[in-house]
Structure 1
Amino acid sequence: MQDKSFEGVLYVFVFVLSFLMYLLLVWSGEGIPPVEIGIGLVLAAVVAVSVRSRSNARHFGLAGLNPVRWAGFLYFLFGPFLWALIKANIDVAIRIVTGKINPGIVEVDTGLHGEMAKTLLANAITLTPGTLTVDVEDDSGVFYVHWINVTDPHPSGEAVYGSFGEWARKVAQ
């Protein structure tokens, strides 16, 4: 269960951040007219209320502030993901030139249960050329992926998205 005091701090943080961002956007170097301050307060309140109404099913925690988790994510982004992105671009370019494609939608059981891990994996798949996450079953963690070169109608996760699944487990769960 989430601590109510943390929720309050979160909404105040969203309000203040939204208000300051608006003021930064309208600041012209000569000051900010009072009407812009009023508009900023109203917009910040709307953003804070919308965050509050959308967060009923979500649980925010301090785990997202863990520097080790962020370091792992940055390593994944600039290491394995960047390397896979380069290889996929070359592979897709060769397939376009040669015409050797066998597209299709495959079902892959990821075994992931956390929302953040599923989101990270789905985005990594979609950002990699030649693959696109079409659908995700929330309860089972099964992904439907459009793949440019289907070699097996029931492939393993490793065949479709490489080590991305393991990285999603390490970074986000």
Structure 2
Amino acid sequence: MFVFVASLSMYLLLVWSGGSIPVFEVGIGVVLATVLAFAFHSWNPTKSFSFKILNPLHWLTFIYYICVPFAIGLIKANFDVAMRVVTGHINPGIVKLEPGLKTDLAKMILADSITLTPGTLTVDVDDDGAYYIHWINVLDVSPKEEQVYGSFARWARRLAD
């Protein structure tokens, strides 16, 4: 379902010229999105169709995550990195963390949240779900999740698992 909604949205954004979108264009978008959704399913038959993404509460929760917990983490990380650059107290390194996320969507949300936050970068995610994160201030060889990326894993789990 995600592929259908994303494809249709992208098509409608591409044909939109600032005014209204003709019904004919919406019809073409629905047909193309349907073909892409079925093609995606045939390429990856282990993925099942889900209507969870159409739930408005799910979208509101995601918007809240972006506007509050992620924004707060982003602001704190910006100040932390700025202070480290000014003072020179930088101890970079790569740490391994295993948040235990089940779905690919949850893993992607966490990896993107980590990478978009200054001072951290998701280097790799193993098949078993282990994250290798480049961190600007390694204090411990095996740190706690809260030290590296705060509550992002809990939110990824809430949004996608």
TM-score bracket, shorter-length normalisation? 0.7 to 0.9
Per the TM alignment, residue 97 of structure 1 is displaced from its structure 2 partner at its CA by 1.3
Work out whether 1:161 is the aligned partner of 2:152: no
Work out whether 1:80 is the aligned partner of 2:83: no
Q: 2:14 and 2:132 mapped to 1: Cα distance? A: 43
Paired-residue identity, % = 50
**What root-mean-square deviation, in Å, do the aligned CA atoms of Structure 1 and Structure 2 show?**
3.3
Q: 1:112 and 1:137 mapped to 2: Cα distance? A: 12
* Deviation string, structure 1 residues 117-166 (Cα, Å, up to 9, x no partner): 11111110000000001111122x21000000000011111111101111
Q: 2:119 and 2:140 mapped to 1: Cα distance? A: 15
| Structure 2 gaps, min length 5 | 18-24
- The one-letter amino acid of 2:15's match is L
In structure 2, the CA distance between the partners of 1:144 and 1:19, relative to structure 1 (3 Å rule), is: closer
Q: 2:78 and 2:111 mapped to 1: Cα distance? A: 18
Q: 1:72 and 1:142 mapped to 2: Cα distance? A: 26
In structure 2, the CA distance between the partners of 1:117 and 1:94, relative to structure 1 (3 Å rule), is: same
Give the match for residue 65 of structure 1. Answer: 54
Per the TM alignment, residue 109 of structure 1 is displaced from its structure 2 partner at its CA by 1.0
The range that moved more, 16-25 or 100-109, is 16-25
Per the TM alignment, residue 23 of structure 1 is displaced from its structure 2 partner at its CA by 7.9
Aligned length: 151
Give the structure-2-normalised TM-score.
Answer: 0.77
Per the TM alignment, residue 94 of structure 1 is displaced from its structure 2 partner at its CA by 1.0
Give the match for residue 24 of structure 1. Answer: 15
- The one-letter amino acid of 1:154's match is S
Per the TM alignment, residue 72 of structure 1 is displaced from its structure 2 partner at its CA by 1.3
Q: 1:110 and 1:50 mapped to 2: Cα distance? A: 32
| Structure 1 gaps, min length 5 | 1-6, 27-36
Structure 1 counterpart SS, 2:94: strand
Give the match for residue 135 of structure 1. Answer: 124
In structure 2, the CA distance between the partners of 1:172 and 1:148, relative to structure 1 (3 Å rule), is: same
Per the TM alignment, residue 66 of structure 1 is displaced from its structure 2 partner at its CA by 1.5
Per the TM alignment, residue 21 of structure 1 is displaced from its structure 2 partner at its CA by 3.7
| Structure 1 runs (4+) greater than 2 angstroms displaced | 16-26, 47-60
